[in-house]
Amino acid sequence: MGVGTASMRSRVRVAMIGMGRWGTRVHLATLAERDGVDIVAIADPHAPDLRFMAEQHGIAHTYRDAYALLDEVRDLDAVVVVTPTDTHRDICLAAFHRGLHVFCEKPLAYDVAQAREMADAARANGLITKMGFNFRYSPVIQRMKQLIDGGSIGKLHLFESLTVNHQFIDPERPRHWKMERARANGGVFVEYGCHSIDLALWLGGPITRVVAHGMTLIPERPLEEGGRGPVDADDAASWIAVYERGGEALFRTGWASVPIGGGGLRVYGSRGSMAWQLDPTTRRSEKLLARTVEDPEPRVLLEFAPSFDARFDEPPYPIGLIARYSARLMEAFLSDLRQGRPSSPDFEDGLAAQHVLAAIRTSLDEGRWAKVERG
């Protein structure tokens, strides 16, 4: 269909592929609330309540097979892909073959070769893409970006990111596909690190080399089909990166530790520093702190704490602000479709992050500094 098709309609017609917890709690909920959007079809090979979801939201078509959906459902504008990493490449290329615009969850692909093929296909077909880099839509991060670009802290010298939570701290929680190298090509450094890498690139520019260390803290887990199986991906990982224009970035990630003291990131410049403080427990509040050489007393520049929403904020798995960021990201994708023009973060940004992930993978495997390729 190509760029501009959706902007000529009164409504945007979307299909969703992947109806797991994230797809349903966040993306389906967001799309269902948007005016001018028709969710035409959904697909998932395993979701037990697919028909119930369709009836609840007035969705005409349900499929167990993504490719059957893409072959049979006519008159679509876009596809939202929320499936395991090792399926992204084939689904997205099939969607591009149909002339459909694509929103894809992160990371873009299993490896750089797949990511490059996907970005090239989107570009060659003139199609709009959007990456699931939802942290860019934090009000605090967006204000931080404005201030850095405006020279508020001078030249950026250091970037520091901390993303640790207890998602998989229970050793009896079954092995997730994200813990299988054959499915994800890495563990927490891919799943969580992808977001912080994108922010590091967005705020500080290209990265040239990295050195990393990772650990599998829980080497064996129960399997959904019974018995137990090995975990061959990292539960905790840290790495150092070097910016092309000078400066250093530090990253720590973990999904099997109880967080304490707040998460987020810090940037340190030649004239000042800023911190994004995200409450990692409830994920319901964040603030931006800043200080400069001229004004050394730390100040709160921005606070964001939206009203409680049971859909996103109820335990045991509160997603809080992350759901709000994702809703704003999806709205940006819909706006791109209506206006017939792409905006960042797109598949080019996904490819840039994939290059850094590949260098981290090499560093973990070979125990050395690894160059970050480009292009």
- The answer to whether the CB of 166 falls within 8 A of the CB of 333 is no
The CA distance from 17 to 253, in Å, is 28
**Residues 265, 329: one domain?**
yes
Ranges 4-8, 199-203, 282-286, 288-292: which has the least confidence: 4-8
Q: What is the pLDDT of residue 58?
A: 95
DSSP 313-368: H-SSS--HHHHHHHHHHHHHHHHHHHHT---SSSHHHHHHHHHHHHHHHHHHHHTS
Buried b (16+ CB within 10 A) or exposed e, 219-237: eebeeeeeeeeebebbbbb
**Mean pLDDT (whole number) for 15-28:** 95
**Residues 168, 274: one domain?**
yes
Chain segment 263-283, per-residue pLDDT in tens: 899 999 999 999 999 886 667
- The answer to whether the CB of 304 falls within 8 A of the CB of 287 is yes
**Residues 95, 154: one domain?**
no
CB atoms < 10 A from the CB of 238, how many? 18
**Residues 146, 293: one domain?**
yes
Q: The CATH number of the domain where 53 resides is what?
A: 3.40.50.720
**Residues 118, 201: one domain?**
no
Domain that holds residue 80: 6-134
Q: What is the pLDDT of residue 282?
A: 67
Chain segment 215-230, per-residue pLDDT in tens: 999 999 999 999 999 9
Laid out side by side, the sheet with 101-104 consists of 61-63, 37-43, 12-17, 78-81, 101-104, 129-131
Q: The CATH number of the domain where 352 resides is what?
A: 3.30.360.10
- Is 187 contained in some domain? yes
The CA distance from 259 to 191, in Å, is 17
**Residues 213, 352: one domain?**
yes
Q: Which of 16, 105, 80 is closest to 350 using CA atoms? A: 105
Q: Is the C-alpha dihedral spanning 56, 57, 60, 62 positive or negative?
A: negative
Residue 81 corresponds to which tokens in the numbers above?
């892909």
**Residues 105, 141: one domain?**
no
DSSP code for 7: G
Does the pTM surpass 0.75? The reply is yes
Question: What CA–CA distances, in Å, run from 132 to 137, 289, 365?
Answer: 10, 26, 27
Domain count for the chain: 2
